[in-house]
Amino acid sequence: MKVYGGVEGGATLSKAVLLDESGQVLGWSEGCPMNHWLLGMNECQSRVYELVLAAKKNAGLSEEVRLASLSLCLSGCEQETSNNALKELILKEHPDIASSVLVKSDVIGALKTVAPNGGVVLIAGTGSNCLLVNPNESMYRCGGWGHILGDEGSGFTISIQAIKMVLHEDEGFRPPEYSAQKIRELVKEHFQVQDMLELLPFCYTNFKKQFIAGMCVKLAKLAKEGDELSKHLFRASGRDLADHVVAVVPRAEKSLLEAEGGLPIVCVGSLFKSWELLREGFEEVLCPKLSEFTLLQPTVSAALGAAFYGNYTISKKAARQIRSWVSLCVPL
């Protein structure tokens, strides 16, 4: 029996899936984040290996089983040179892991899961990214630069902006239009500090991107309870995310724009759980620029799309199975 593997490696967690030749799921596993720019190549390849081993165990397979193909769609894998370096390192350290290994961006897995014929993937979780893939496989990106150079519209950026609003109000430097009092209380509770100066270690010497971004969930709750400044931050995030799409639309093939429902936009990431808070700003920017589009959310892991994308010998039966996963999406 041939076994095909797919890995979805996000900035917060990762998932692996193993499929048989018919496209049936044999096993799953979950693990830690897999961005090699943050972890280093060696730690990233080690996590890939451990995740695959865990999926084999879940499937009841021997650790010695060699995968027919292993497709990795990972956060931070935007550059072919570094992607190839990671691939070569994996094969050097674990030569029997798979007959072939493919390394691509995490956005590819999401797109191939929901819109295999092309479209836009918009990621908004801990970080943010946007990728247009045309039917001819040409790709154009906006974003994906990480928290220092980018991440506009992400959970991390919302959290950082919230902290800045408190500091600006405290110091009188461009004070926000709305009161930051409730956000101030939330920031102190999240970081367990009494004074804003105590945030410095969290932002510098003991920096943890996921922990800072994790405050966004609490900010969403505050916004839903009516806090005006929190609502403002999410509207701004919606505008930022729409700007990503606006940037790539001019390069979309005509067939994508004229398809039924317009341009498919696959929305991936935990921030879209707060879509009602993002929607106003998102539509304010995108609707005047794009006459028709459909927002879709995968209801299955992008590891499935990764497995399909990396397996060029998969049977027609398997392709039909994966198309059934593609249909498992809902308009936002």
Asked if residue 251 and residue 206 are part of one domain, the reply reads: no
Are 282 and 171 part of one and the same domain? no
pLDDT digits (tens, 9 = 90+) for 86-105: 999 999 999 999 999 999 88
Instruction: Kindly state the percentage of the chain with pLDDT values over 90.
Output: 72
Under DSSP, the state recorded for 63 is T
pLDDT, tens digit, for every residue of 206-262?
A: 999 999 999 999 999 999 999 999 999 999 999 999 999 999 999 999 999 998 889
- Domain-located, residue 206: yes
Structural domains counted in the chain: 3
Q: Are residues 92 and 35 in the same domain?
A: yes
* 266 domain residue, yes or no: yes
Q: Are residues 143 and 158 in the same domain?
A: no
CATH number at residue 276: 3.30.420.40
Q: Judge whether 231 lies within some domain.
A: no
Q: Which one of 226, 245, 279 terminates a domain?
A: 226
Handedness of CA 85, 47, 72, 270 (dihedral sign): negative
180 shares a domain with 41: no
Domain that holds residue 12: 4-99+299-331
- Three-state SS for 122? strand
Pair 141, 249 in one domain: yes
Residue 326 has pLDDT above 60, yes or no: no
As given in the structure block, the two tokens for residue 208 are 């943890």
For residues 311 and 179, state if they share a domain: no
User: Considering the domain boundaries, does residue 200 fall inside one?
Assistant: yes
Whether 110 maps to a domain, the answer reads no
Q: What is the pLDDT of residue 23?
A: 79
Q: Same domain for 140 and 266? A: yes
pLDDT above 90 (res 162): yes
- What tens digit of pLDDT does each residue of 306-324 get? 888 766 545 444 555 555 5
Long-range contacts from 86-90, C-beta under 8 angstroms, 24+ separation: 86/36, 86/41, 86/44, 86/45, 89/41, 89/42, 89/45, 90/45, 90/48, 90/49
pLDDT of residue 244: 98
Nearest to 55 by CA among 276, 248, 253, 307: 307
Q: Report the range of poorest mean pLDDT among 3-7, 162-166, 170-174, 304-308.
A: 304-308
CA 94 centroid distance within chain: 27
Q: Does some domain include residue 39?
A: yes
H or E stretch including 224?
Answer: helix 215-224
Residues 175 and 54 in one domain: no
Q: Residue 139 is encoded by which pair of tokens?
A: 């790709």
pLDDT value of position 114: 80
Q: pLDDT tens digit string along 183-205?
A: 999 999 999 999 999 999 999 99
In this predicted structure, the answer to whether residue 16 has a pLDDT above a threshold of 50 is yes
- How many C-alpha atoms does 58 have within 13 Å on its Cβ side? 17
- Pair (165, 275) in one structural domain: no
